Amino acid sequence: MGSETMLAIGLMSGTSLDGIDAALIETDGEGVVKPIAFRSEPYSDAARKQLQEATALALTYDKPRLSPEIGAATEMLTRRHLILIHQLLASAGRDAKEVDVIGFHGQTIAHRPDRGWTWQIGDGAMMASALGVPVVHDMRGADVKAGGQGAPLLPVYHRALLSGADLPVAVLNLGGVGNITFVGRDGTLVAFDTGPANGLVNDWMAAETGKDFDEGGAFAASGAIDTTVLAAMLDDPWFDSPPPKSLDRADFTIQPARGLGAADGAATLTAFTAATVALALDHLPDRPTKLIVAGGGRHNATMMAMLADACEISVEPIETVGQNGDATEAEGFAYMAVRSLKGLPISFPGTTGVPEPLTGGRLSRP
């Protein structure tokens, strides 16, 4: 198939549970990437609660198995994705028949690479038959089965976006969990999870203020960092362990900040995210010239300022290299779906610790 381009849709719903992102791109799965359209739809409170309950249940299992609650959450999630795809295509003036493939990440309800499994819900077969388009799903499963961490998967897409950049450079994705991609001068990829990104701050805001997140970081900016709590949270052997490594959204909690005032807790947890990224830089083969930030966390001005302080390098939103940082993850899954169809690798020894470059994803045809 070579360098033939395809029209692909990518779908992402992250562990921060804010909603679903859908992107339409044209790509050859290699150096050509042309974004066409992007749409996002927040979850309703009821949908978010249903996914939180499915996640809580999944974390009690020793391996994935279907339960009525998780089955219902899977169907709800898939239907919501279908509605968003129709809206995306309508806004782009395209028909589903023109789409070559869909990359459907699904919702991670448990990530247990140490036990040899990772679980993303979402019914790829149902989506393929509803739209008449091939769907690549279960993007992380093959990697974990082969001994990889199953995350992060975005590095191969980050590298494609940075083809003209001044290397070495690092891309930091701040979702529920943070992950960093280092692209070396020779194109070397090193990537791993850095720690919680927006996840803990969102949990804290919900518990202390009833809001879903700290808009612009304004609440954290009104508080003071508690250095004792911060030091205690950073004193975790996970940060010292060399990559590859990945986290479940539930691996860190807001518990250590309990007892702090609401604004001080937000400030401390935001500082914690920044400090974990600074620690992550020590695991890279070379000091990046700058940190390019994608994901929701780049809208948090307090977090961006704390990152620049902690890392002592230039920190810029991904928009400075001409990208839409809200769309990066969804676009990445469209890109990986095309790679999967072409049998190209989506995970690598330097990104997930898999023994050799590996393609991934299961294909459901209509």
147, 78, 133, 75: which is closest to 102 by C-alpha? 133
The pLDDT profile of the chain, 366 residues, written as one tens digit per residue, is: 457 999 999 999 988 888 999 999 999 999 999 999 999 999 999 999 999 999 999 999 999 998 999 999 999 999 999 999 999 999 999 999 999 999 999 999 999 999 999 999 999 999 999 999 999 999 999 999 999 999 999 999 999 998 778 899 999 999 889 999 999 998 889 999 999 999 999 999 999 999 999 999 999 999 999 999 999 999 999 999 999 999 988 999 999 999 999 999 999 999 999 999 999 999 999 999 999 999 999 999 999 999 999 999 999 999 999 999 999 999 999 999 999 999 999 999 999 999 999 999 999 999
Q: Which two tokens stand for residue 30?
A: 């290699």
Structural domains of the chain, with CATH: 6-149+340-348+358-364 (3.30.420.40), 155-321 (3.30.420.40)
pLDDT given at position 2: 53
Residue by residue, DSSP assigns 110-154 as: EEEGGGTEEEEE--HHHHHHHHTS-EEE-TTHHHHHTT------T
pLDDT given at position 17: 86
CA dihedral over 87, 92, 98, 99, signed as positive or negative: negative
Question: Residue 173: phi, psi to the nearest 5?
Answer: -105, 120
144, 176, 196: which is closest to 329 by C-alpha? 176
pLDDT given at position 62: 94
Written as one letter, the residue type at 235 is D
Q: Which two tokens stand for residue 259?
A: 């007892």
In the block, tokens 């991934």 appear at 360
d(CA 107, CA 83): 16
Predicted TM-score (pTM) of this structure: 0.92
Q: What's the chain's length in residues?
A: 366
* β partners of residue 196: 177
